[in-house]
Amino acid sequence: MNTHMNAKIDANDSMSTVRRILGLAMILMGIIGTVAQFAKGGTLRASFGPSLAYAATSQAGAEMPRVESAQAETRAVAGTLEAAFRGILAQAEKPEWVGYSVDEIAGERSMCCGNWNDGAGCGTCRLEKDRDATGGTMHADGSIKLEGARRLVVLFRLEAKQMDRIRVASEDCTLDAGGLPFLWLTGVKPSESVALLTTYVQGAEFERHEHHNIGNGALTAIALHADASADRAMDSFVKLDQRDELRKQAAFWLGAARGPEGLNTLQRMAKNDPSSDVRAHVTFALSVSHEPGAIEEMIRMAHDDSSSHVRGQALFWLAQKAEKQAMGTITGAIENDPDTDVKKKAVFALSQLPKDEGVPKLIEVAQTNRNPEVRKQAMFWLGQSNDPRALQFFEQILTK
């Protein structure tokens, strides 16, 4: 009996050993298979329901953002981005989202699905929300990354083998893909990203202003790249052989995002662009720039531009800046500009200044300016101010 039991125990031990060996072999084969899959440029796929989210581990320095409601897949770009994208587009029969990230140009901003937020955080970006261009909810919870390199997420919606939409988002945004496939590309070179996006800016009909304008989305993405190739691309968009609307849209981003290089380009546009409409838009672009020389260029335009429309716009945007330098330029235009329309715009600019600065100057203009149209304009804006000093001024006039 003991001999029988020992034989049974030996047999069980042998079976356990075999199972362990087989288990280890299967694990090893699985690891080898996974490695081989990546070696052939394979992908990993995971499907997530509406209540689940996914954040991929870092691969090639490009971590997938938090993604909700997506059939998510990660793929490394083996050759050029343009070739990889062309292959993806050729197979995109049904709607899907493709994205990647690049270093974002420095600045205290958050881009939630293309919505510019100067220092506010980003919540959830609902990519399939059609009625809202931003398609997202925002929050300011102190989660903005102000130090170190930040990543800009560039997103493409493909359908029927065509580009349907281009959006951008900050790395802290949660992306809701609405249940669609979501392909995340790693190993993307910034210069190749700029080159790809440029193809969608060139030839785009910016004048149409339609919803989900692909050209505008591509232009925004380029402007936020932290790469010298983006400066070169932005400079090419404002050359005189480009259409006015593209030059105007590019001018905004030069002021809003491109720092000293952007200011240099805006200064050239202010002096050399033959279109008064474009130069008027440059005054707005200068007003959103944080560069020290932007105010001085606006003052120069208010004084010297050949177009009364441009001079008036420069005065208006100077007033919005509420800088001390603005007051002298505005009052100087009221006194010295040869065009009455510019004088009237300068009076309006006074009304945009803080009341303690603007109201006394408006009263002074209403009392002393030699041009009756200018005095009338000053009276009108005093009437709109609801300021007690304006009321006292009117009482003095009416009781004389």
Residue 126 pairs in a beta bridge with: 176
pLDDT 10s digits, 254-286: 999 999 999 999 999 999 999 999 999 999 999
Within 8 A by CB and 6+ apart from 271, the residues are none
CA distances to 38, 46, 66, 104 from 56, in Å: 16, 10, 8, 20
Q: From residue 201, give the alpha-carbon distance in Å to each of 105, 209, 234, 350.
A: 19, 14, 10, 39
Worst-scoring range by mean pLDDT, 27-41, 167-181, 233-247, 362-376? 27-41
Quick check: 7 pLDDT over 70? no
> What's the pLDDT at 124?
81
Find the range with the poorest average confidence among 87-91, 337-341, 370-374, 388-392.
388-392
Interacting residues of 47 by C-beta distance below 8 A, sequence separation 6+: 71, 72
Percent of the chain with pLDDT over 90: 56
The predicted pLDDT at position 112 comes to 63
CA separation for the pair 17, 35 (Å, rounded): 27
Question: 34 or 254, which is more confident?
Answer: 254
Poorest-pLDDT segment among 7-16, 63-72, 98-107? 7-16
Average pLDDT for 250-255: 97
For the cut 60, the answer to whether the pLDDT of residue 19 exceeds it is no
Task: Kindly report the length of the chain.
Answer: 400
Stretch among 118-122, 125-129, 364-368, 382-386 having the lowest mean pLDDT: 118-122
CA atoms lying within 13 Å on the CB side of residue 39: 6
Higher pLDDT, 45 or 253: 253
How many other CB atoms sit within 10 Å of the CB of residue 383?
Answer: 13
The more confidently predicted of residues 134 and 298 is 298
pLDDT for 41:
40
Q: What is the mean pLDDT of the chain?
A: 80
Average pLDDT over residues 298-302: 94
For 277-311, letters b (16+ CB in 10 Å) and e give bbbbbbbbbbbbbebeebbebbbebbeebebbbbb
Ramachandran area for residue 179 (φ above 0: left; ψ -120 to 50: alpha; else beta): left
Strands 124-126, 150-159: pairing is: unpaired
Give tens-digit pLDDT for 85-94.
Answer: 999 999 999 9
Strands 174-176 and 67-68: parallel
Mean per-residue pLDDT for 71-77?
92
Cα torsion 368, 372, 376, 378: sign:
negative
